[in-house]
Amino acid sequence: MTDGTAQESETLSEAPGEQPVHGRSSSVLRWGLFAAGCLAAVWAFLQGAYFLRSNVALFFDGPGGPLGVFSGLVSDDWSFSLRHCPPLALLAALFVAGITTLLGFRVQVLLGVRLPMRLAICTGFVLGLGVSGIAFELLTMARLLYLPLAWLVWIALFAGTEWGIRRLGRSGRWRDLPFLFGVEPVPEKDPVEERVFWWAGGVLVLLITLAIFWHALLFPETYWDSLILYLGYGRMTFLEHGFPFKAVGQVGIGLGANYPHLFSTYGAVAGTMFGHWSDVAQRFAAPLAGLLTTILIYDACRLAGMRAAFAMAGALAWRLVPYGVAYSTYASDYAIAILLVAAFLALAVAFARRPHWGLFALLTFLPAIGMHINYLMGILWGPWIVAVVAALWRRDPSGDSALIPVGPFRLLATRRFWAVFLVCALAASTWNIRNWVLTGNPVYSFFPNLFPASVHINPEVMKSADLEWFRNGDGIGRLAEQFEDIEKGRPSRDHGDPAFQREANLGDRLRASFLFWQGFETFRVTDDQQLQRGRWLDRLKFLFSLRTTLFPGEPEQIESPGGNEVRLLYSRHAYKMAPVMLGFAIPGLLLFLAALVARRFTRPADRTTRVELRPLVAGAAVAFTLLGGLLAYHYLLADYYLYQIIPILPAVAFFAAAVWLPFAERRLLPERFLSSFLFLLILVAGFVPGLAMALLNFKVTSGGRVYGQEFIPLRMDVFRHPGLETDAFYRLQYQEMADAWQAVNELAAGTPLLTHDNRHLMYDPSIELVHLDDWDVQQIYGKPAQERLAFFRERGIVYYLRIPNEAKHTVNRRAGLDELIERGDLVLLERFGPNELYQFAYSR
Query: From the DSSP assignment, how many helices (H) and strands (E) are in the chain?
Result: 32, 15
Residue 587, beta-bridge partner list: none
Per residue in 117-140, pLDDT (tens digit) is: 899 999 999 999 999 999 999 999
What is the structure's pLDDT at 19? 37
**pLDDT band (50, 70, 90) for residue 28:** confident
Determine which of 320-334, 541-555, 799-813 has the lowest per-residue pLDDT on average: 541-555
What is the structure's pLDDT at 221? 95
**pLDDT band (50, 70, 90) for residue 112:** confident
Average pLDDT over residues 43-54: 92
Using the predicted structure, report yes or no on whether residue 170 has a pLDDT greater than 50.
Answer: no
What is the structure's pLDDT at 602? 62
What is the structure's pLDDT at 397? 75
Average pLDDT over residues 350-378: 94
Average pLDDT over residues 767-785: 95
What is the structure's pLDDT at 800? 97
| Secondary structure percentages of the chain, helix, strand, coil, to 5 | 60, 5, 30
Per residue in 417-435, pLDDT (tens digit) is: 999 999 999 999 999 999 9
Q: Which of 204, 190, 231, 384 is nearest to 294 (CA)?
A: 204
Using the predicted structure, report yes or no on whether residue 558 has a pLDDT greater than 60.
Answer: no
What is the structure's pLDDT at 169? 66
Span between the terminal Cα atoms of the chain, in Å? 66
Average pLDDT over residues 796-805: 96
Using the predicted structure, report yes or no on whether residue 411 has a pLDDT greater than 50.
Answer: yes
Using the predicted structure, report yes or no on whether residue 653 has a pLDDT greater than 70.
Answer: yes
**pLDDT band (50, 70, 90) for residue 15:** very low
Average pLDDT over residues 684-705: 91
What is the structure's pLDDT at 1? 43
Residue 769 CA to residue 761 CA, distance in Å, equals 11
Cβ count within 10 A of residue 17:
5
Strand stretches in 426-559, DSSP E? 520-525, 531-533, 556-559
Q: What are φ and ψ of residue 754, in 5° steps?
A: -85, 125
Q: Work out whether strand 520-525 and strand 531-533 pair parallel, antiparallel, or are unpaired.
A: antiparallel
What is the structure's pLDDT at 12? 26
Which positions ≥6 away from 450 have C-beta within 8 Å? Answer: none
Judged on CB neighbours under 10 Å (0-12, 13-18, 19+), 205 is buried
Average pLDDT over residues 220-248: 95
Residue 780 CA to residue 777 CA, distance in Å, equals 6
Q: In degrees, to the nearest 5, what angle opens at C-alpha 543 toward C-alphas 540 and 545? A: 110
Residue 315 CA to residue 771 CA, distance in Å, equals 43
Per residue in 718-748, pLDDT (tens digit) is: 899 998 888 888 999 998 999 999 999 999 9
pLDDT above 70: percentage of residues in the chain: 90
Determine which of 322-326, 454-458, 663-667 has the lowest per-residue pLDDT on average: 663-667
Q: Which of 263, 424, 233, 421 is nearest to 340 (CA)?
A: 263
Per residue in 85-107, pLDDT (tens digit) is: 999 999 999 999 999 999 999 99
**pLDDT band (50, 70, 90) for residue 562:** very low
What is the structure's pLDDT at 547? 62
Residue 294 CA to residue 694 CA, distance in Å, equals 15
Are 534 and 524 in contact by the 8 Å Cβ rule? The answer is yes
Residue 567, beta-bridge partner list: 523, 557
pTM above 0.85, yes or no: yes
Residue 791 CA to residue 793 CA, distance in Å, equals 5
What is the structure's pLDDT at 4? 39
Are 365 and 424 in contact by the 8 Å Cβ rule? The answer is yes
Using the predicted structure, report yes or no on whether residue 239 has a pLDDT greater than 80.
Answer: yes
Q: What are φ and ψ of residue 581, in 5° steps?
A: -55, -55
Using the predicted structure, report yes or no on whether residue 204 has a pLDDT greater than 50.
Answer: yes
What is the structure's pLDDT at 689? 95
How many Cα neighbours within 13 Å face the side chain of 606?
15
Secondary structure string (H, E, C) spanning 603-620: CHHHCCEEECHHHHHHHH
Determine which of 151-155, 213-217, 611-615, 680-684 has the lowest per-residue pLDDT on average: 611-615
Q: Which of 109, 177, 617 is nearest to 399 (CA)?
A: 177
Residue 286 CA to residue 280 CA, distance in Å, equals 10
Average pLDDT over residues 459-483: 92
- Residue 402 CA: distances (Å) to CA of 173, 175, 259, 409, 775: 8, 6, 38, 19, 55
**pLDDT band (50, 70, 90) for residue 546:** low
Better pLDDT: 62 or 319: 319
Per residue in 597-631, pLDDT (tens digit) is: 777 766 555 454 455 789 999 999 999 999 999 99
Q: What is the mean pLDDT of the chain?
A: 88
pLDDT above 90: percentage of residues in the chain: 67
